[in-house]
Amino acid sequence: MVNYSGNNMLTKYKDIKAWLDTMNIKNYTINDTGTVTVDGNVDIRDKQLTKIPVQFRIVYGYFNCSYNSLESLEGSPREVGGNFHCWHNSLTSLDGSPQNVGGNFYCGFNSLKSLEGSPREVGGSFYCWDNSFKTIPKCDTIINGELLWK
């Protein structure tokens, strides 16, 4: 088992593969650049992570990194075909979040003060309730559903 606790991304093929296998992630491709594409879902919730140690590129299903202690979304995929879940973490920023999310985007129950760094487009609704917003947050994301913040 690879117990990742370092500050840097895993870059060696064997280390990336070992971490993905430990997290029970299936149907993945490790690209020449060291990024990871997954033809399916990624469920790394409740794994006591403070960081995502690999750089995901595309996840064609959903991506769930909720119920960890993430302080950053660095390592998150650039594109997610389904829903993206990052609630119940220690996030103060959405920097590193996917550019495009095909389904809903869930970032509630964090310590966000703004929605800076949020995706360019969300195919469904954008759920950001229970954060540190005092008024409706400014959001430049194209949202095809609703922005829900309270």
Question: pLDDT tens digits, residue range 63-92?
Answer: 999 999 999 999 999 999 999 999 999 999
Q: Is the pLDDT of residue 51 over 70?
A: yes
Q: Are 94 and 113 in contact (CB under 8 A)?
A: no
φ and ψ at residue 35, rounded to 5 degrees? -85, 160
Neighbours of 16 (CB within 10 A): 21
Q: Cα torsion at 78, 47, 105, 117 (round to 10°)?
A: -50
- The whole-chain average pLDDT of the chain stands at 93
Q: Is the pLDDT of residue 3 over 50?
A: no
What pLDDT band is residue 134 in, cutting at 50, 70 and 90? confident
Q: What is the pLDDT of residue 8?
A: 79
The whole model's pTM is what? 0.93
Q: What is the pLDDT of residue 7?
A: 57
